[in-house]
Structure 1
Amino acid sequence: MDDAKTYSSDQPYSSDQPYSSDLAFTPSVKAVQSRKGSRRAYARMEEGGSWQTRITEDLAGFIAAQTSVFLATANREGQPYIQHRGGPRGFLRVLDHKTIGFADFAGNRQFITQGNLADNSKAHLFLIDYAHRQRVKIWGEARMVEGDASLVARLMPDGYEARPEQALLFTVAAWDANCQQHIPQRFEAADVAATLIARDRRIEALEAEIERLRQALSAKES
Structure 2
Amino acid sequence: MAATYLHVTMTDSVRRAQERYYGHAAAITDAHGRDPLGEAEARFIADRDSFYLGSVSEHGWPYVQHRGGPKGFLKVLDPGTLAFADYRGNRQLLSTGNLHANDRVALFLMDYKNRARLKILGHARVEDVRDNQALAVRLAQRDGLAKAERIIIIDVVSYDWNCPKYITPRYSIEEVEESIGPLKSRIAELEAQLRSLQA
| Bigger share in strand | 2
1:179 equivalent in alignment to 2:163: yes
Write the distance in 2 (CA, Å) between the matches of 1:156 and 1:179: 33
CA contact (8 A) 2:104 2:124 kept: yes
CA contact (8 A) 2:137 2:145 kept: no
1:85 equivalent in alignment to 2:67: yes
Which has the larger Rg?
1
Q: CA deviation at 1:161?
A: 9.6
1:192 equivalent in alignment to 2:176: yes
2:21 counterpart residue number? 36
Q: TM-score, normalised by structure 1?
A: 0.76
Q: CA deviation at 1:195?
A: 3.0
Q: CA deviation at 1:30?
A: 1.1
1:4 counterpart residue number? none
Match of 1:168 among 141, 146, 152: 152
1:167-202 Cα shifts (integer Å, max 9, x gaps): 111111011111112211110012212333343235
1:120 equivalent in alignment to 2:107: no
Q: CA deviation at 1:101?
A: 0.8
1:22 equivalent in alignment to 2:4: no
Unmatched tracts of structure 1, length 5 or more: 1-17, 215-222
Write the distance in 2 (CA, Å) between the matches of 1:174 and 1:114: 22
Write the distance in 1 (CA, Å) between the matches of 2:170 and 2:145: 25
Q: CA deviation at 1:149?
A: 2.1
CA contact (8 A) 2:7 2:29 kept: no
CA contact (8 A) 1:123 1:139 kept: yes
CA contact (8 A) 2:5 2:160 kept: no
Match of 1:156 among 140, 152, 169: 140
User: Which residue type is aligned with residue 173 of structure 1?
Assistant: V
RMSD value over aligned CA atoms?
2.8
1:64-83 Cα shifts (integer Å, max 9, x gaps): 11111110110122111111
Q: Structure 1 pair 155/161, CA: closer, same or farther in 2 (3 Å)?
A: closer
Identity of aligned residues (%): 36
